[in-house]
Homo-oligomer: A and B are copies of this chain.
Amino acid sequence: MDFLELSDRIIDSAGSHKQISAAATNRRQAPTDFSIIYSKDLLPASGGEKVTKEFLHELLNILLGYICKSSRRSGKVLDFHHPHQLKEGLEGFSLQLTDKPETLEQILVDCRDTLKYGVNTGHPRFFNQLSSGLDLIGLAGEWLTSTANSNMFTYEVSPVFILMEEVLLKKMQGIVGWSDDEGDGIFCPGGTISNLYSILVARYYFYPEVKTRGMRALPQLAIFTSEHSHYSVKKSAAVLGMGSENVLMVKCDERWVILSFQGLVPFYVNATAGTTVYGAFDPFNDIADICHGHNLWMHVDAAWGGGLLMSDRHRMKLQGIERAWSVTWNPHKMMGVPLQCSVILIKKRGLLQDCNELGAEYLFQRDKPYDVSYDTGDKSIQCGRHVDVFKFWLMWKAKGSEGFGSQVNKCLENAEYLYDQLQRRTGFELVFKNKPEHSNVCFWYIPPTMRGLPPGPDRDTRLHQVAPRIKHRMMEQGSVLIGYQPLGDKVNFFRCVFSNPATQQEDVDFLLDEITRLGNDL
């Protein structure tokens, strides 16, 4: 590799290559013409280093352009097109795949177009999902992860990542409040799978024969969960062969009186730290009293609420979580780790391994030259497992625990600001009068023509259509994005959530102005 080949280049902010002063050009080559270069010319092709470097520099410029634009409020959150429009091909952006290769120039154009027609989840005015923002250290971690392109099954192929997983699991267990001699866990592909693990392991704890003999060897089990818990509990029950109808929803005002239901045997209780829509917290100590009294497995789904443990100001909302036997916690939500990063923590050590291990000899040989207890892959229900840990580890290094705490505080301050504004502004109505516990704030917008209507079915019918119609216009304008849904007897309302530390009070103001502007004539 000629050192000068690369040092010749000036990468400018617009992403094009320029040659520098004429005096220096004599040994320099012309900029790469990607329109005559193909993927086969990149490494591992002989002599492919130069083209590879230039291609990835060019890509970096495209990604940097996107990242910088994302952080500017003047840019759009999305540029909406219907499925049929994108499928027909917009301005030459064709999704179709062919037999013949395209040039690298076309590949770079496709990269630009993919970003152009996507949704800018890092924009400070994207409030649509529990995961938002774009943490640059997390991003760097993910780029490195994909460059390393490894797999979590054994220490043999992922020594560093396996140890980082151990470090982070211990750290998180300590923060939950478990002692040094307890605690196990694993990183999973999302919170639903983490919750599935909790039921799987709880079932195995009480009935280890289920692993070999199946559910037919067991009594009819029942799962308890709070009314507003995530649907993943039901989904898991269906997948695990337990049946979704054996998930009993406990109303939040029933104070968790666990009864015996027609021959069903309760064994597992799911409590939620930060429900999806309302951001509510179950009373963990009360639930723990019941669970420990009845020998029931207590799980806390803190996928969304777990982040609050990082904040001295807010962690008391999770009091009692340390009494749970398992905890789901998604750093990709409130802690801003890029997707995906979710953890299941299990208090009792060894259960996860016993429940899932099959000891495949082509991976988990016992005659390896190192301590094979670090071959943690057989704890997993997956075989290959993506490395989700590094970006999280790198972010923790870069921010420290304190940095995560500040981020969480900031998001909750934004929620309080929105809550205050909603009370001050005309035309908005809170779904709950109380201050939000998490960063979820739920509200209706009442257009002027509806403000005099008495409560009742007629008003509800009209109000139900307001949020979807505003959202529709919002998507077309692309200026901001927020979610809505009905829940129980409540007609469609907006749910604003804050998890992007880039969001400022001015963005909250903008959101309310925009809703008013778009919904004023409804």
A49 touching B68, Cβ below 8 Å: yes
With A384-B192, A475-B369: A144-B115 Cβ-Cβ less than 8 Å: yes
Given A12-B6, A119-B156, also A214-B191 (CB < 8 A): no
The contact of A140 among B111, B362, B465, by CB within 8 Å, is B111
Say yes or no for A498: interface residue by CB 8 A criterion: no
B403 touches A39 (CB 8 A): yes
Is A215 at the interface (CB under 8 A from chain B)?
A: yes
Q: Which residues of B contact A455 (CB under 8 A)?
A: none
Contact B400–A101 (Cβ < 8 Å): yes
Output the least CB separation between A247 and chain B (Å): 10
The 8 A CB mask of A411-427 against B (1 = contact, 0 = none) is: 00000000000000000
CA distance A289 to B45 in the complex (A): 45
Report if A136-B39 is in contact (Cβ < 8 Å); known contacts: A7-B18, A99-B402, A160-B114: yes
Judge if A129 is at the interface, Cβ distance under 8 Å: yes
- Asked if A259 CB lies within 8 Å of chain B CBs, one says no
* Known contacts A118-B158, A340-B386, A384-B191: A44-B502 contact under CB 8 Å: yes
Binds B, one of A234-242, A290-298, A317-325: A234-242
Q: Is there a chain B Cβ closer than 8 Å to A356's Cβ?
A: yes
Are B402 and A100 interface neighbours, CB within 8 A? yes
The docked-state distance in angstroms from the alpha carbon of A487 to that of B362 is: 8
User: Within the assembled complex, what's the spacing in Å between the Cα atoms of A132 and B71?
Assistant: 36
Given contacts A67-B43, A468-B368, contact A115 B361 (CB under 8 A): no
Complex interface bits, A235-268 against B, C-beta within 8 A gives 1, otherwise 0: 1011111111110000000000000000000000
In this assembly, does A205 line the interface, its C-beta being within 8 Å of a C-beta of chain B? no
- How many chain copies? 2
A72-102 vs B, Cβ < 8 Å mask (1 yes, 0 no): 0000000011111011000000011111111
Out of B143, B235, B244, name the residue touching A212 (CB < 8 Å).
B244
**Segment with Cβ contacts to B, from A146-154, A177-185, A344-352, A512-520:** A146-154
Q: Mark A116-140, 1 if CB is under 8 A from B, else 0.
A: 0111011010001101011011011
> Which residues from B are CB-within-8-Å of A449?
none
Choose among B13, B86, B87, B369 the residue that contacts A6 (Cβ–Cβ < 8 A): B13
Q: How many residues of A contact B (CB 8 A)?
A: 183
A48 surroundings in chain B (CB, below 8 A): 71
Chain B residues, Cβ within 8 Å of A168: 97
- Determine the chain B residues whose CB is within 8 A of the CB of A451 once the complex forms: none
CA distance A220 to B218 in the complex (A): 13
Q: List, in ascending order, chain B residues with CB within 8 A of A104's CB.
A: 398
Is B362 in contact with A495, judged by CB distance below 8 angstroms? Answer: yes
**Cα–Cα distance between A2 and B96 once the two chains are bound (Å):** 39
| Interface: A52 (CB within 8 A) | yes
Report if A434 contacts B (CB, 8 A). no
Interface set, chain A 169-206, CB cutoff 8 A to B: 171, 189-193, 196, 200, 203
Docked pose: A213 CA to B244 CA in angstroms: 7
Decide yes or no: A53 and B13 within 8 Å by CB, A107-B140, A158-B119, A382-B189 being known contacts.
Answer: yes
Give chain B residues whose Cβ lies under 8 Å from the Cβ of A396.
97
Q: Mark A201-227, 1 if CB is under 8 A from B, else 0.
A: 001000000111111111010000000
Q: With A83-B374, A216-B215, A277-B362 known to touch, is A63 a contact of B144 (CB < 8 Å)? A: yes
Is residue A284 within 8 Å, beta carbon to beta carbon, of the partner chain? Answer: no
